[in-house]
């Protein structure tokens, strides 16, 4: 059976680790009859966390697609990890979700992971529902959690319910939307509906009136009805709240105990009745600025939001139908590479269990297998249609490590396996860095990299070690220097002869022409590693033939690729060739290339050489309680604190830190804050290192050269 677009609900479960997302998903499936027995995270028996590593770690590490049939609707559920080491799984889920359920821990309130995710919710303009879970916890504080949410996310967070007796004896919820009290039996399940007690009726009525006003504000006809009658019918209230939720003018808050199955059924009913369908959402953006309305009667367009590789299956592709319908055996064209793909089978998914279906309509989410040339972020279209759905912008990496196989013979196998994982996980970048001669993994955090290592060793059976990556320093100069070098070699037959006179200067945009020289030819070269080489040919009178320009330039570039101080790349230098000598027989390109490299080295050493290190802007979000420890650690890393801001209930520290000091920072920050702080980093600039550090690095480089 395929579901009409208006009868689909696509939700993603978001929240900090430990908020209970996976338990809530399990209860949703149980309530809907999709499973006959409710599993638990503790027993490794949930439908969502089904991989070996998730069960071993006891946490969600991947997003998992589930679905539940509720009344005449289908609810697609994407359960996501709580650790921002796996933020890519969250971002891809938000891309295709039409509603997010922000799960909060009633004992912990709004945690930093929730705030990080909220930034992406805002980017995708996703309607959101807050669920205060674990109100049966002995430290549950619904009122404090509500206050924190309103302080952090604004007054659009509006309670729909509140628990009457939170804590270990919790079994009662007062619902202000329906103005009813739910009393749950031991073990949860279907509650009794009872009148709201007199002691709570005033609060419930005030909450109900607030919901009616929100509904009325989003529809002129409802507003007029509200002014005339002072109330709205249940269907009118539902229509108004659907509009408010879809426009992000309203974030309803519910409460529940997912593990005890108390309250989840009411939330599913709200999703069914109030949450927007794919047709209610704003049109999808296309590359180039156009938009696409979700419509089952238009030409078919499908977006691949996630790919994984499974043993005995191959590539598994998760997709959303943005327009039209997808049927078994349908052929679609990849808009990114023009290849034709046949969807031989399409499935609905509940974790690792997949059920083949014949058709999925616009707005639905499904799975297919064995696509040959289609990957995450690709669009598949009906033949004759040219659309590219706006791609997911994944976050930049925050952590890096070098990787080493146990032997050179294993390197090819390792790289093949890493690139396979990189294809599945867009937040991982595999770099073979020629400058530092290392293979570098760039990821979101230590847990992210540890997961990669686990997969390489357990799935691919390849040993892999992490090591501290080298730093790609830069070398430059601070003053003008002139030098000359004569290369002369005679060993029977024709010899080699070249003499080059060179001036080098620090390069900057708009600098004046070199004094005392006659400029014949200039070239400004953008270096592969950043920075510039400004090359001036100032030979007068033919002392060096112009045919040797390229050889001389090549010799200079050779030395700039491996600088004289530490073998690092050189940047921002102007080189002027102003004199020299050549021999009619013994001069050749090789001779001038060698002479140019040597004279550049001599001049560089006389021009106030300077070593530069990469500096990164680092933003840390943490609570007041741990800020002192975080600041102390930053100072030990040669960090410069640029400022601090309040970020909801957290503090945001802006700082600049040398890249060399950020190795394993993710693990340190996690240990300092018990995992309750997050950070982002991005390259800022190169700055000079201290003379002490410079001397140390130069000595290390010389020792390394001596051992070669």
The answer for residues whose C-beta is within 8 angstroms of residue 412's C-beta and 6 or more apart is none
Tens of pLDDT, residue by residue over 437-480, are 899 999 998 989 999 999 899 888 899 899 999 999 999 999 99
| Cα(644)–Cα(655) distance, integer angstroms | 9
**Ordered strands of the 340-343 beta sheet:** 340-343, 330-334, 379-381, 301-310, 314-323, 365-369, 346-350, 353-357
User: Looking at residues 678-703, what average pLDDT do you find?
Assistant: 92
CB 262 within 8 A of CB 256: yes
Beta strands in 311-396 (DSSP E): 314-323, 325-327, 330-334, 340-343, 346-350, 353-357, 359-361, 365-369, 379-381
Q: How far apart are CA 62 and CA 47, in angstroms?
A: 13
Domain residue spans in the chain? 5-280, 284-381, 399-470, 478-603, 611-693
Identify the pLDDT of residue 77. Answer: 98
pLDDT at 705: 81
What ranges in 247-286 are assigned the alpha helix state H?
Answer: 264-273
> Topology of domain 284-381, per CATH?
Elongation Factor Tu (Ef-tu); domain 3 (2.40.30)
The listed CATH number (3.10.150.10, 3.40.50.1820, 3.30.70.870, 3.40.1390.20) that belongs to domain 399-470 = 3.30.70.870
Tell me the pLDDT band of 708, cut-offs 50, 70 and 90. low
The 8-class DSSP code of residue 5 comes to G
pLDDT at 96: 97
Q: Which CATH class is domain 611-693?
A: alpha beta
Angle in degrees, 0-180, between the axes of helices 234-246 and 198-217, rounded to the nearest 10: 60
What percent of the chain is predicted at pLDDT more than 70? 99
Which of 356, 309, 355, 295 minimizes the C-alpha distance to 328?
Answer: 356
Nearest to 174 by CA among 160, 186, 188: 160
403-407, 549-553, 691-695: the lowest-pLDDT one: 403-407
Q: How confident is the model at residue 286 (pLDDT cuts 50, 70, 90)?
A: very high
Query: What CATH fold (topology level) applies to the domain 5-280?
Result: Rossmann fold (3.40.50)
Report pLDDT for 52. Answer: 82
The neighbouring-strand residues paired with 317 are 307, 368
For residue 59, name the pLDDT band (cuts at 50, 70, 90).
confident
Higher pLDDT residue, 423 or 347? 347
What is the predicted pLDDT for the residue at 493? 65
Average pLDDT, integer, range 324-353: 95
E strands, 218-300, in order: 251-255, 284-285, 291-292
- The CATH architecture that domain 478-603 belongs to is 2-Layer Sandwich (3.30)
Tens of pLDDT, residue by residue over 3-56, are 999 999 999 999 998 899 999 999 999 999 999 999 988 888 999 988 888 888
Distance (Å, rounded) from C-alpha 284 to C-alpha 322? 8
- Is the alpha carbon torsion for 56, 59, 63, 64 positive or negative? positive
- pLDDT higher than threshold 90 for residue 266: yes
Q: What gap in Å lies between CA 469 and CA 449, rounded to an integer?
A: 14
Contacts of residue 483, Cβ cutoff 8 Å, sequence gap at least 6: 501, 502, 599, 602, 603, 606
For 113, 242, 274, 393, the CA distances from 128, given in Å and listed in that order, are 16, 11, 12, 21
**The pLDDT of residue 238:** 86
What mean pLDDT do residues 103-122 have?
91
- pLDDT greater than 90 at residue 410: no
What's the pLDDT score for residue 492?
63
Give the contacts of 684 (CB within 8 A, at least 6 positions apart).
615, 616, 617, 656
Do 84 and 388 meet the contact criterion of CB atoms below 8 Å apart? no
* Domains 5-280 and 399-470 fall in the same CATH topology: no
Provide the 8-state DSSP code for 557: H
Predicted local confidence at residue 642, as pLDDT: 96
pLDDT, tens digit (0-9, with 9 covering 90-100), for 215-238: 888 777 777 776 777 777 778 888
- Token pair of 85, please? 């080491």
- Mean pLDDT across the chain: 93
What is the model's pLDDT at position 276? 94
Which sign does the torsion angle of CA 198, 178, 38, 58 carry?
Answer: negative
Asked whether the beta carbons of 585 and 620 are under 8 A apart, the reply is no
């Amino acid at each position: 059976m395929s579901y009409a677009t208006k009868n689909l609900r696509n939700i993603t479960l978001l929240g900090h680790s430990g908020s209970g997302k996976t338990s809530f998903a399990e209860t949703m499936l149980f309530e809907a009859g999709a499973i006959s027995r409710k599993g638990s995270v503790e027993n490794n028996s949930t439908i969502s966390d089904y991989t070996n590593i998730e069960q071993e770690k006891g946490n969600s590490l991947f997003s998992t697609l589930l679905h539940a049939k509720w009344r005449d609707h289908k609810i697609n559920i994407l359960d996501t990890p709580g650790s921002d080491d796996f933020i890519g799984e969250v971002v891809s889920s938000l891309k295709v979700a039409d509603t997010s359920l922000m799960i909060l821990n009633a004992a912990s309130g709004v945690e930093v992971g929730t705030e990080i995710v909220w930034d992406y919710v805002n980017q995708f303009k996703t309607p959101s529902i807050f669920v205060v879970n674990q109100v049966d916890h002995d430290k549950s504080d619904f009122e404090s959690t509500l206050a924190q949410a309103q302080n952090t996310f604004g007054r659009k967070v509006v309670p729909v319910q509140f628990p009457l007796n939170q804590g270990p004896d919790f079994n009662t919820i007062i619902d202000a939307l329906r103005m009813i009290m739910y009393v749950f039996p031991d073990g949860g399940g279907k509650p009794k509906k009872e009148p709201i007690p007199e002691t709570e009726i005033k609060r419930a009525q005030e909450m109900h009136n607030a919901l009616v006003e929100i509904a009325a504000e989003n529809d002129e006809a409802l507003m007029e009805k509200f002014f005339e009658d002072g109330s709205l019918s249940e269907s009118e209230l539902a229509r108004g709240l659907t509009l408010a939720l879809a426009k992000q003018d309203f974030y309803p808050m519910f409460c529940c105990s997912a593990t005890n199955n108390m309250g989840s059924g009411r939330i599913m009913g709200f999703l069914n009745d109030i949450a927007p369908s794919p047709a209610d959402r704003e049109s999808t953006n296309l590359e180039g600025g156009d938009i696409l309305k979700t419509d089952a009667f238009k030409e078919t367009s499908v977006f691949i939001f996630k790919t994984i590789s499974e043993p005995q299956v191959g590539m598994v592709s998760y997709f959303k139908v943005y327009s039209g319908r997808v049927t078994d055996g349908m052929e679609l064209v990849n808009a990114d590479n023009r290849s034709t793909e046949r969807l031989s089978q399409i499935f609905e998914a509940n974790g690792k269990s997949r059920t083949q279906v014949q058709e999925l309509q616009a707005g639905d989410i499904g799975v297919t297998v064995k696509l040959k040339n289609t990957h995450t972020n690709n669009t598949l279209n009906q033949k004759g249609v040219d659309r590219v759905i706006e791609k997911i912008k994944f976050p930049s990496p925050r952590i890096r490590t070098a990787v080493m196989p146990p032997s050179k013979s294993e390197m090819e196998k390792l790289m093949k396996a890493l690139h396979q994982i990189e294809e599945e996980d867009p937040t991982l970048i595999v770099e073979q860095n020629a400058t530092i001669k290392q293979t570098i993994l760039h990821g979101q955090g230590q847990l992210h990299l540890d997961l990669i290592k686990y997969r390489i060793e357990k799935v691919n059976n390849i040993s892999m070690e992490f090591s501290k990556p080298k730093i790609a320093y830069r070398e430059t100069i601070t003053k003008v220097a002139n030098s000359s070098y004569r290369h002369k070699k005679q060993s029977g037959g024709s010899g080699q002869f070249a003499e080059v006179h060179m001036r080098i200067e620090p390069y900057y945009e708009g600098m004046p022409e070199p004094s005392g020289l006659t400029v014949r030819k200039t070239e400004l070269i953008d270096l592969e590693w950043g920075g510039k080489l400004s090359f001036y040919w100032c030979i007068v009178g033919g002392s060096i033939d112009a045919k040797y320009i390229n050889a001389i330039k090549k010799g200079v570039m050779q030395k700039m690729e491996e600088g004289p101080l530490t073998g690092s790349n050189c940047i921002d230098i102007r080189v002027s060739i102003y004199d020299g000598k050549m021999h009619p027989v013994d001069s050749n390109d090789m001779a001038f290339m060698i002479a140019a490299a040597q004279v550049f080295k001599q001049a560089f050493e006389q021009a106030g050489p300077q070593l530069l290190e990469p500096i990164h802007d680092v933003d840390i979000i943490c609570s007041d309680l741990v800020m002192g420890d975080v600041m102390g650690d930053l100072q030990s890393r040669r960090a410069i604190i640029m400022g601090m801001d309040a970020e909801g209930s957290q503090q945001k520290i802006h700082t600049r830190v040398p890249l060399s000091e950020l190795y394993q920072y993710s693990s340190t920050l996690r240990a300092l804050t018990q995992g309750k702080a997050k950070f982002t980093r991005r390259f800022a600039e190169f700055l000079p290192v201290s003379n002490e550090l410079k001397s140390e690095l130069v000595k290390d480089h010389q020792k390394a050269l001596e051992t070669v």
